[in-house]
Amino acid sequence: MMREKLDPRKVNGGVFLGLNGIVIKSHGSTDAEGYASAIEVAYDMVHNGLQAKIQHDLSEYHARNESPMGPEAA
């Protein structure tokens, strides 16, 4: 059901990328269920090694796209 997929208590928080850690910004008006949902999202990201996977993928991307003349020369 679409309403459940968009329920801020079930899908609470936004993920900040570009930081050296896992950060979830929870909605300020959420209730206990929404806050617990944001914590669960953060736990899942840490448990599944999301930060390490992003760092690895970025390192591989940069290694493939490096060139002595810059990325435009590749």
Please indicate, yes or no, if residue 42 is contained in any of the structural domains: yes
Residue 23 domain-assigned (yes or no): yes
Does residue 71 or residue 60 have the better pLDDT? Answer: 60
Residue 40 included in any domain: yes
| Any domain includes 24 | yes
pLDDT digits (tens, 9 = 90+) for 7-57: 777 777 788 877 788 888 888 888 898 889 889 989 999 999 999 999 999
pLDDT of residue 66 exceeding 90: no
Identify the domain containing residue 64 by its residue range. 9-69
Q: Which amino acid is at 1?
A: M
pTM of the model: 0.68
- The tally of domains found in the chain comes to 1
Tokens of 64: 């493939």
CA 47 to chain centre: 13
Sign of CA dihedral 3, 6, 1, 36: negative
Cα distance between residue 16 and residue 36, in whole Å: 18
- Return phi, psi of residue 17, to 5°: -105, 155
Is residue 33 in a domain?
A: yes
Residue 49: predicted pLDDT:
94
